[in-house]
A = this chain, B = another copy of it.
Amino acid sequence: MTTHQYDERLHHLLRTAAHVFAEQGYHATSMRDLSKATGMSLAGMYYYVRCKDELLYQIQERCFMGVLEGAQTALESGTDPGDSIDRLIRHHVTFFTEHMSEMKVLSHEADSLTQERQESIDSLKKQYVTLLADLIGDAQGEGAKADKRVATYALVGMMNWIYTWYDPKGEIEPDQLAEQFSEVFLHGILTATTSAIPNGG
A3 within 8 A of partner (CB): no
Which candidate, A12-20, A31-39, A71-79, A151-159, is the interface stretch facing chain B? A151-159
> Within 8 Å CB of A6, what residues of B?
none
A65 within 8 A of partner (CB): no
The answer to whether A145 and B177 have CB atoms under 8 Å apart is no
Find the residue from A142, A165, A190, A196 having the highest chain B CB count within 10 A.
A190
> Within 8 Å CB of A107, what residues of B?
107, 164
Main secondary structure of the interface of A (DSSP, over half): helix
Query: Known contacts being A25-B25, A186-B189, A193-B139, is A108 close to B108, with CB within 8 Å?
Result: yes
Partner of A185, one of B82, B136, B188: B188
The answer to whether B136 and A150 have CB atoms under 8 Å apart is no
The answer to whether B196 and A145 have CB atoms under 8 Å apart is no
Within the complex, the shortest CB–CB distance from A151 to chain B, in Å, comes to 5
Question: 8 Å CB contacts to B: which residues of A80-126?
Answer: 82, 85, 107-108, 110
A1 within 8 A of partner (CB): no
> Within 8 Å CB of A183, what residues of B?
145-146
Within the complex, the shortest CB–CB distance from A64 to chain B, in Å, comes to 14
A28 within 8 A of partner (CB): yes
Within the complex, the shortest CB–CB distance from A26 to chain B, in Å, comes to 10
Within the complex, the shortest CB–CB distance from A185 to chain B, in Å, comes to 6
**Docked complex Cα distance between A196 and B140 (Å):** 11
> Within 8 Å CB of A154, what residues of B?
158, 161, 180-181, 184-185
> Within 8 Å CB of A146, what residues of B?
180-181, 183-184, 189
The answer to whether B192 and A151 have CB atoms under 8 Å apart is no
> Within 8 Å CB of A159, what residues of B?
157
